[in-house]
């Protein structure tokens, strides 16, 4: 029988504690906590669909053992907006028509936030590198990149970090 570990997580500002077998991933833990906006794609770290922010860093939750995130703060795409409305990235993705089927978009938006936190005005090369771990089969990326550029401009104009 696998060892069980108690994991304490703060997800989108809410504290959670759960006991999981030590081989369970952060993706599995988030899904058990009903954070269904975190998608399961390839489960090998190739697609980025399961990306979340762990203490501000974009990670593939399918590759991260849940117990290694103990005490950490996780942000999903739902945690980016606030009581005043959606995050500029979320707004830009809608305005630019960047969402097709939508399956990959939560992971892409989370990765874009991490990129803009680090590089508020990314070059094309930085944008490609920052989103390189996220695959989309529907859009061709042009509108996705336009949305990230638009959100970056909005954030810079407001004097805010992503």
Taking only the tens place, the pLDDT of each residue in 84-143 is: 899 999 999 999 999 988 899 999 999 999 999 999 999 999 999 999 999 998 877 999
| Better-predicted residue by pLDDT, 2 or 95 | 95
Categorize the per-residue pLDDT at 21 as very low, low, confident or very high, splitting at 50, 70 and 90.
Answer: very high
Task: Give pLDDT, residue 51.
Answer: 98
Q: What percent of the chain has pLDDT over 70?
A: 99
Query: In whole angstroms, what is the distance from residue 21 CA to residue 124 CA?
Result: 42
Is residue 88 within 8 A of residue 143, CB to CB? The reply is: no
Residue 137's pLDDT is 87
Q: Residues near 131 by Cβ (< 8 Å), separated by ≥ 6?
A: 48, 108, 111, 112, 115, 141, 144, 145, 148
pLDDT of residue 84: 85
CA distance from start to end of the chain: 43
Helix (H) or strand (E) holding 79: none
Q: Band of the pLDDT at 42, cuts 50, 70, 90?
A: very high
For residues 117 and 47, give the distance between their C-alpha atoms in angstroms, rounded to a whole number. 21
For residue 161, what pLDDT band results from cuts at 50, 70 and 90? confident
Q: From its phi and psi, is residue 140 left (phi > 0), alpha (psi between -120 and 50) or beta?
A: left
Is the separation of the CB atoms in 103 and 132 below 8 Å? no
CATH class given for the domain over 88-158: mainly alpha
Residue by residue, DSSP assigns 1-51 as -PPEEEEEEEETTEEEEEEEETT-BHHHHHHHTT-TTS---SSSSSS-TTE
0.85 exceeded by pTM: yes
Residue 83 or residue 74, greater confidence: 74
pLDDT at 140: 79
Domain boundaries, the chain: 4-79, 88-158
Distance CA 36, CA 34 (A): 5
pLDDT band at 159 (very low <50, low <70, confident <90, very high): confident
- Residue 17 confidence class, pLDDT cut points 50, 70, 90: very high
Q: What is the C-alpha separation between 130 and 25, in angstroms, rounded?
A: 23
CATH domain 4-79 topology: Ubiquitin-like (UB roll) (3.10.20)
């Amino acid at each position: 029988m696998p060892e069980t570990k108690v994991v304490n997580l703060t997800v989108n500002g809410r504290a959670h504690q759960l006991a999981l077998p030590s081989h369970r991933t952060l993706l599995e833990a988030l899904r058990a906590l009903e954070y269904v906006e975190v998608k399961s794609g390839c489960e090998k770290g190739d697609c980025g669909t399961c990306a979340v922010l762990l203490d501000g860093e974009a990670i593939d939750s399918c590759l991260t053992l849940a117990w290694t995130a103990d005490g950490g703060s996780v942000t999903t795409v739902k945690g980016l907006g606030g009581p005043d409305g959606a995050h500029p990235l979320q707004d830009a993705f809608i305005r630019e028509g960047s969402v097709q089927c939508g399956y990959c978009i939560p992971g892409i938006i989370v990765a874009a936030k991490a990129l803009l936190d680090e590089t508020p005005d990314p070059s094309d090369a930085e944008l490609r590198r920052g989103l390189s771990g996220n695959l989309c089969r529907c859009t061709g990326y042009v509108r996705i990149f336009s949305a990230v550029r638009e959100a970056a401009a909005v954030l810079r104009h407001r004097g805010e970090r992503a």
